């Protein structure tokens, strides 16, 4: 029997078939090898950077510095310089946390996002003593929020990553380890820090306000300072401290004059809610039935892990809006309804009101320290730590470093003295408000005075 031509053809093509099979296997193996190589290149550092980069912003603007602020200044006169720094998005509505010294004295704060668009930001709130500030860009879309970790379990030797606007080079990444913990650093006559993280990750001018990340991409610190003429030594504010201060800077009490009355702390186990330490008397929280020892898990659809989460969840709510709080109490899950109220007069802190009305951040001067001014007329005064841009104080030329001695006919030795003046029922009768300041110069200290128009700045009292 003869084989058909087709069978003969099949016998001839077998080597070709084997070759094709081998090529298919080779191509498949090459694809697997390429994919494997790509995954190996995506190290934990790469993944940490990719997870955080979209929530890191670059900050720039012009500011005025003097010889006292800048050791490199060649004269005693003020001069304009280009400032730069970094910030991290802590709320999707455009709230950004940074160092106060990054935005101090900057009239037009410009923020460049990860998509390279630039926007003008406003200074929302600040704590000069702790060198922290919150600024905001108003956008018609939301921003990605940085993943916040904890600094409570940092280990000496563990890897960390610094991310920021180093020397104006945006989104620069450097890596290192935690070199030490609980460092105290004096960076100038006016600024010192306590309890800092020390790292050997390169931190350069422009990195201030940027995140220090752990290998999981969680923010564990805020880069703040570099030791002059030292290599491989940088410092960061622990994130637990920074976020606690940020909660106060973004509180509904400070920003919107509203009140909830909850005093709380994070649970010891991260991510297990906010433990209520106390509830203020006659507060909205007390009326809602919230009790000491309760654990707040959610506010509406917002998960609560720390005090900042609580303030973020309450910020921007309508005064008459009832908010559903999920609370754990003695192993029982409860739902309570909280309705914010206008902050009563007794709950207005002097610092808040002085900043809102006058635009001043003030600090008490110890009596022994005040004697150094050699002024025999006044018993004391308040050191001016910060002046808000566009405020009545700025318009009258009050500067950081001045000492507020008095207002109208009263002395100002404590913040409570200023609060008393601002809350007097006859306040309108002595507007514009006369003030006296002590200013140090090369000729010694001299007393200056002026008048501030603050009509319309005072909060409505109910």
| Catalytically active residues, by annotation | 101, 131, 208
Whether the CB-CB separation of 355 and 336 falls below 8 Å is answered with no
| Helix, strand, coil share of the chain (percent; to 5) | 25, 35, 35
Q: Helix 307-314 to helix 239-249 angle, to the nearest 10 degrees?
A: 30
Residue 299 bridge partners (DSSP): 302, 325
Rounded CA-CA distance 262/275 in Å is: 10
Closest by Cα among 262, 267, 277 to 297: 267
**Beta-sheet strands, E only, within 260-309:** 262-266, 274-279, 295-299, 302-303
CA distances (Å), origin 88, targets 107, 238, 314: 20, 14, 21
SS3 179: strand
CA distances from 197 to 53, 201, 305, 342 (A): 21, 11, 23, 39
Q: Sign of torsion, CA 446 450 456 459?
A: positive
Asked if the bond preceding 432 is cis, omega within 30° of 0, the reply is yes
Q: How many C-beta neighbours within 10 Å does residue 278 have?
A: 13
End-to-end CA distance of the chain: 113
- The SS3 call for residue 306 is coil
């Amino acid at each position: 029997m003869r084989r058909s031509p087709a069978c003969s053809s099949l016998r001839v093509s077998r080597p070709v078939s084997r070759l094709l099979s081998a090529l298919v296997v080779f191509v498949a193996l090459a694809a697997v090898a390429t994919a494997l190589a790509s995954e190996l290149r995506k190290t934990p550092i790469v993944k940490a950077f990719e997870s955080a980069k979209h929530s890191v912003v670059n900050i720039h603007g012009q500011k005025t510095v003097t010889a006292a602020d800048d050791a490199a200044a060649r004269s005693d006169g003020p001069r304009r310089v280009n400032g730069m720094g970094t910030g991290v998005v802590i709320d999707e509505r455009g709230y950004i946390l940074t160092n106060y010294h990054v935005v101090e004295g900057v009239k037009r704060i410009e923020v460049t996002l990860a998509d390279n668009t630039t926007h003008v930001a406003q200074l929302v709130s600040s704590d000069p003593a702790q060198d922290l500030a919150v600024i905001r860009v108003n956008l018609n879309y939301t921003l990605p929020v940085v993943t916040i970790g904890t600094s409570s379990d940092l280990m000496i030797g563990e890897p960390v990553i610094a991310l920021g606007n180093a020397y104006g080079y945006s989104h620069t990444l450097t890596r290192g380890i935690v070199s030490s913990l609980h460092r105290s650093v004096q960076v100038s006559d006016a600024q010192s820090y306590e309890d800092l993280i020390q790292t050997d990750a390169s931190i350069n001018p422009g990195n201030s306000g940027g995140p220090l990340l752990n290998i999981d991409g969680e923010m564990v610190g805020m880069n703040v300072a570099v030791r002059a003429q030292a290599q491989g030594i940088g410092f960061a504010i622990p994130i637990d401290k920074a976020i606690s201060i940020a909660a106060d800077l973004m509180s509904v009490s400070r920003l919107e004059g509203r009140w909830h009355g909850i005093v709380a702390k994070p649970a010891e186990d991260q991510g297990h809610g906010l433990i209520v330490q106390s509830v203020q008397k006659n507060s909205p929280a007390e009326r809602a039935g919230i009790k000491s020892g309760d654990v707040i898990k959610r506010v509406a659809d917002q998960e609560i892990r720390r005090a900042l989460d609580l303030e973020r969840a309450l910020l921007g709510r309508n005064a008459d809006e009832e908010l559903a709080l999920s609370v754990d109490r003695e192993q029982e899950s409860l739902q309570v309804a909280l309705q914010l109220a206008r902050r009563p007069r007794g709950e207005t802190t002097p610092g808040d009101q002085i900043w809102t009305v006058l635009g001043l951040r003030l600090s008490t001067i110890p009596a022994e320290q005040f004697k150094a001014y050699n002024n025999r007329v006044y018993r004391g005064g308040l050191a001016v730590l910060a002046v808000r841009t566009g405020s009545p104080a700025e318009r009258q030329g009050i500067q950081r470093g001045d000492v507020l001695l008095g207002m109208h006919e009263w002395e100002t030795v404590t913040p409570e003295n200023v609060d008393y003046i601002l809350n007097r029922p006859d306040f309108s009768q002595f507007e514009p408000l006369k003030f006296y300041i002590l200013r140090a110069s090369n000729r010694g200290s001299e007393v200056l005075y002026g008048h501030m128009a603050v009509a319309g700045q005072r909060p409505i009292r109910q």
